Amino acid sequence: MSELSQLAQLINELKLAEVKSLASKMIEEGASAQDILVQCQEGMAEIGRRFDQGECFIPELVVAGKIMEAVMKDLEPLLKEAAATAEGSGAVVMGTVMNDVHDIGKDIVVMMLRGSGFRVIDLGVNVSPEKFVEAVKDNNPAVIGMSVLLTTCYQSISKTVEAIQQAGLRDHVSIMLGGAAATEILAQKTGCDFYGKTAMDAVVYASQRSKAA
Amino acid sequence: MSGDMEQIYNERLKRYVAAMRNEKPDRIPIRPLAAEFCAAYAGYTCQQVTHDLDYAFDAVLKCCADFDWDAAVSNMVFVWTGSVDAINLKYYTKPGIDTPADSCFQYLEPKDDDAHMKEDEYDALIEDPTGYLANVWMPRVSRDVQPIGEPSTYRNNLAWLKGGMSVLQYFQRLGEQGARMKNETGTVSAIAGCLKSPFDIIADKLRGYRGLCMDLFTQPEKVLKAVDALAPHMMFNALAGADPDKNVPITIWMHRGCVPFLSLEQFERFYWPSLKAIVEEIWSQGHQILFYAEGDWNENLKYFAELPEQSIIFHVDKSDLFKAHEILGEKFCLSGGIPNELIAMGTPEEVKDYCKKVIDAAAQDGGFIMDAAAIMQDDAKIENVKAMTEFTREYGVY
């Protein structure tokens, strides 16, 4: 692994105040918002790597996400093309399935995907199959991610997969499933392509599919 | 109660209690934590059983009459919208109103900026938890309760009155339901008394999980003090509803303590010390605790092994049942472990095969109670619940 920049390292160490002041200083000194964002994403990627290795856990991901949110507030006005972020990025449509209103897990995945450079279309909670289909049509993502916490919403997953199939989009998009109620068996039975146990599984899968697309 | 029914009840109680004490009964007891499944079985919607206790209790009684279960929860649909409406509570979705009638109630986690407790309110909570809940928290979670200092309204006054009455009414009805289960179906009311870990209460109902995650880094000492301040209240609440005969356990509903919601280091510091002390105290008073360990607790099992022998029954949701048996089986009874997705989407044969695997590996020496991994909702297929019940009856004889 190449050495982290100072900014990336501060993110990795979850130093909110220091990250904000260094980012402001870099802006004042003329660094491009794009460069700062890329460095932030390196920091997020390092946290993701540590999460994968069992060296840090969801509380650290949440704090890192909060830091990214704070930095993005300063950067967004400067980023002319928010959509064109890091190299190799693509679009991912995310949502919690119909009749399920839980968002913690989905929000963490959204945060990690954004932190890794993806353009994420977050449809929120209680998302109908039709809404997923519409978002796929509008954004042409390589991947959609469904989150499910309730065992009773299994059918919402199958219905969404069916709706995507019926809209003729199934071959254009990979479907990943995650959330407390999700399992490998469930992903298979509902016709999804991938089950992700952790937020980082989602990031790795989305990266692979985006490159393949 | 007829003599036959009394005999059936006594046999079931003996079997259930023996297993919970990690002993070997005559056969494996069956104790499904069946919630909206009962509604589906009885032909009611989720809305009906969530809003009307008559439907909720009737659905459970129908299941108890038709399935050979040793114990069942008298009403596992634990949110009654009667109480929700009495104080105009904001944080539950109501089936039939906010979501379709055939979907279950859900907890609405507020956005971070709108948490029920603000980040600078720890001192007030620590100083006087009950006062904080009544004066600060209630006006935020209820649309009718007025904040302190605001003019009172008739809605405010009625919210407190109706809220108190609804809780009294609910628990009185719950007692009657337990008696009906016993007298009419010979089924044991499986649990009594509710416990939450102080950390989970702060994560769920006060700061929100994400807010609390931030606090772990920005004000850890205050989190620790708040956990300690809440512990006696959690314990009091649990014991107030416990079984006076000390047969059936208090239940703790745990979810945000396991890896990766917390690291083991965070668990050791923020979650476990207060909870361990509560469990030890409750056990010293003779009550067991059913650990409904929602999610995957594999990494945390070694801590539970520190608890006094028989003090808990460990319920397996997504934890590895075989690993749990290895680490905890000597000291404690285990329950659950049959995957809900299998019960919802599998075939009776698949369910039976899984039950066999579980019984062979974890129930040979007693100390096991058959159940699904998580609370069963209306997606559980009737034929699969039947398969789990009937197979366990046949194959689970010692």
A142-171 pLDDT, tens digit per residue, is: 999 999 988 788 889 999 999 999 999 999
Q: How would you write chain A as a 3-class SS string?
A: CCCCCHHHHHHHCCCHHHHHHHHHHHHHCCCCHHHHHHHHHHHHHHHHHHHHCCCCCHHHHHHHHHHHHHHHHHHHHHCCCCCCCCCCCCEEEEEEECCCCCCHHHHHHHHHHHHCCCEEEECCCCECHHHHHHHHHHHCCCEEEEECCCHHHHHHHHHHHHHHHHCCCHHHCEEEEECCCCCHHHHHHCCCCEECCCHHHHHHHHHHHHHHC
* pLDDT exceeds cutoff 90 at A74: no
A150 to chain B, minimum CA–CA distance in Å? 9
pLDDT at A112: 83
Residue A2 scores a pLDDT above 70: no
**pLDDT over 50 (residue B208):** yes
Tokens found for residue A110: 């959204």
Cβ distance B36 to A152 less than 8 Å, yes or no, reads: yes
Residue with tokens 């634990």: B78
Q: Do B260 and A51 touch (CB under 8 A)?
A: yes
The ipTM estimated for the assembled molecules is 0.89
Per DSSP, the residues of B291-325 read EEE-S--GGGHHHHTTSPTTSEEEEESSS-HHHHH
Output the pLDDT for position A104. 82
DSSP per position, B94-105: -BTTTB-TTS--
| Lowest mean pLDDT segment, chosen from A62-76, B92-106, B132-146, B247-261 | A62-76
Test A183 with B209 for CB contact under 8 angstroms: no
What span, in angstroms and rounded, lies between the C-alpha atoms of B55 and B38? 10
User: For domain A91-212, which CATH number applies: 3.90.1480.20, 3.40.50.280, 3.40.50.620, 3.40.50.150?
Assistant: 3.40.50.280
Indicate the SS3 state at residue B290.
strand
The rounded distance, in Å, linking the Cα atoms of B68 and B386 is 9
Q: Is the pLDDT of residue B161 over 50?
A: yes
Mean pLDDT for chain A? 88
pLDDT tens for B225-248 read 999 999 999 999 999 999 999 999
pLDDT of residue B171: 93
Residue predicted with more confidence, B15 or B113: B15
What order do you get walking across the sheet with A194-195 strand by strand? Answer: A119-122, A91-96, A143-147, A174-178, A194-195
Residue B81: the pLDDT is 96
Partner-chain contact B341 A62, CB within 8 Å: no
Q: Which residue of B has its CA nearest to A185?
A: B341
pLDDT at position B2 over 80: no
Q: What is the mean pLDDT of residues B2-26?
A: 96
Query: How confident is the model at residue B39, as a pLDDT?
Result: 97
Cβ neighbours of residue B300 under 8 Å, at least 6 residues apart?
Answer: B257, B258, B259, B264, B267
- B254: which strand partners? B293
If pLDDT is split at 50, 70 and 90, which confidence band does A68 have? confident
CA atoms A71, A76, A80, A82: torsion sign: positive
Backbone CA torsion sign across B3, B8, B11, B13: negative
Examine the pLDDT at B133 and tell me if it is beyond 50: yes
CA distances for B261 relative to A58, A109, A179, B256, angstroms: 5, 14, 13, 6
pLDDT, averaged across chain B: 96
CA distance B68 to B233: 37
Q: What is the per-residue pLDDT for B60? A: 98
Out of A58, A154, A185, the one facing B261 most closely (by C-beta) is A58
Residue B287 pLDDT > 90? yes
As a whole number, mean pLDDT of residues B167-183 equals 96
Contact assignment for B260 to A14 by CB distance below 8 Å = no
Show me where the domains of chain A are located. Answer: 6-78, 91-212
* CATH placement of domain A6-78: 1.10.1240.10
> Which chain A residues touch B379 with a CB distance below 8 Å?
151-152, 154-155
Of A51, A66, A154, the CB nearest to B379: A154
Burial class from Cβ neighbours inside 10 Å (0-12, 13-18, 19+) for residue B137 reads buried
Closest CA to A51 of B259, B67, B206, B185: B259
For the segment B23-70, what is each residue's pLDDT rounded down to a tens digit? 999 999 999 999 999 999 999 999 999 999 999 999 999 999 999 999
pLDDT at residue A60, as a whole number: 93
Q: What is the C-alpha separation between A165 and A171, in angstroms, rounded?
A: 8
The residue of B77, B341, B371 whose CB has the most chain A CBs within 10 angstroms, and thus the best one to mutate to test that interface, is B341
Give the model confidence (pLDDT) of A77-120 as tens digits.
777 554 444 444 689 999 999 988 888 889 888 988 887 888 99
Quick one: pLDDT at residue A173? 96
> What pLDDT, on a 0 to 100 scale, did the predictor assign at position A154?
85
